[in-house]
């Protein structure tokens, strides 16, 4: 259980705070915790305007909205003043866009990470937790490669901080149920036409709900000593089962794996297993830095994983059934009750809720 006082009287800043994760994080923190300030830092003033309609400062006096870009070190320097905790969620995340605009992906995902690290140390931020992706494990596309580089920068940031109190860690998890650009909204839209496009019937993916992702991040922020790469234990699902969940009466059309896409996702590659320890709910990849020796002694209740261990979506011991995923989608507003019985090609009279 997370300590309810973890944010009491503290100032938290989230980069990329107007994204799906940032909005859910804001909702949960404002509802369940008592921060002194919660700063939403992002580059899109219109998204901040929209978010301010949901979380107005008149109703939530702790909230602040800062327009800025992680590429702009001077703006970060101003924004991080007197901040206790930073959640780094800002990134260019679309795989095709990163392939077509590689310089921009490097500037945001790598150089932006470097700026966050340097400014956090200079401003005396206590903890920085960076969000990563399964695509950073054995990356085959530019987005994954930039996030792997970012992960390594944040872990090494503990060496740069040296005697300063600032600690850096990383959270790596899989696909978020219903997030923008994911296959679930695509299948929901294609259901109306009666045909779902499937890349490969063998494909599997890890899945986590947005709410669970936020709670895991808060838990990691509380537990971290600096240097950990946290990986939650989450279920997998086969793409054909997902198609049956959303549109059981629809046909599927195999279109082939897209460039930069894997058949199965990996959260923990085998070559990282020798540095990995296992807890009840998550794994921690330990850094190979001198600073870790003293910090690792604070860890208890773990066991090492086997030397040949790999945590991949196809070898995962936990798989979601069609009924389990259907209930998840209903619980989070992506499927109205009874939608599974809709006939293919016919529009549902109920509108799907949006997160």
Residues with catalytic function: 135
CA angle at residue 197 from 183 to 251, to 5 degrees?
120
Give the number of C-alpha atoms closer than 13 A to the C-alpha of residue 273, restricted to the C-beta side.
12
State how far Cα 209 lies from the chain centre: 10
The answer to whether 43 touches 72, Cβ cutoff 8 Å, is no
- Is the four-CA dihedral 113, 114, 117, 122 of positive or negative sign? negative
Within 10 A of 349 (CB to CB), how many other CB atoms are there?
7
């Amino acid at each position: 259980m997370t300590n309810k006082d973890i944010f009491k009287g503290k100032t938290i800043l989230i980069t990329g705070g107007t994204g799906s994760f940032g909005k859910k994080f804001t909702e949960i923190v404002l509802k369940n915790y008592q921060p002194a300030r919660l700063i939403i830092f992002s580059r899109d003033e219109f998204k901040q305007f929209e978010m301010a309609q949901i979380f107005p400062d008149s109703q939530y006096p702790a909230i602040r909205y800062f327009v800025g870009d992680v590429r702009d070190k001077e703006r970060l320097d101003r924004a991080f003043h007197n901040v206790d905790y930073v959640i780094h969620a800002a990134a260019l995340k679309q795989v095709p866009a990163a392939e077509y605009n590689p310089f921009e992906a490097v500037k945001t995902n790598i150089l932006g990470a470097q700026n966050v690290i340097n400014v956090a140390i200079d401003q005396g931020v206590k903890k920085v937790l960076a969000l990563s992706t399964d695509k950073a494990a054995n990356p085959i596309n530019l987005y994954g490669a930039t996030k792997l580089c970012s992960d390594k920068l944040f872990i090494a940031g503990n060496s740069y901080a040296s005697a300063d109190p600032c600690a850096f860690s990383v959270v790596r998890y899989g696909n978020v149920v219903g997030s923008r650009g994911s296959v679930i909204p695509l299948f929901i839209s294609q259901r109306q036409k009666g045909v779902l496009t499937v890349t490969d019937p063998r494909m599997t993916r890890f899945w986590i709900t947005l709410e669970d992702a936020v709670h895991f991040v808060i838990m990691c922020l509380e537990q971290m000593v600096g240097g950990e790469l946290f990986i939650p234990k989450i279920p997998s699902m086969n793409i054909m089962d997902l198609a049956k969940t959303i549109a059981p009466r629809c046909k599927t059309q195999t279109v082939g794996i897209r460039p930069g896409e894997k058949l199965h996702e990996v959260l923990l590659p085998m070559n990282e297993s020798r540095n990995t320890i296992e807890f009840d709910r998550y794994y921690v990849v330990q850094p190979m830095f001198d600073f870790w020796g003293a910090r690792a002694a604070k860890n208890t209740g773990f066991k090492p994983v086997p030397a040949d261990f790999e945590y991949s979506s196809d070898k995962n011991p936990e798989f979601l059934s069609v009924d389990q995923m259907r209930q998840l989608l209903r619980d989070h507003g992506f499927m109205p009750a009874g939608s599974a019985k809709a006939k293919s090609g016919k529009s549902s009279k109920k509108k799907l809720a949006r997160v």
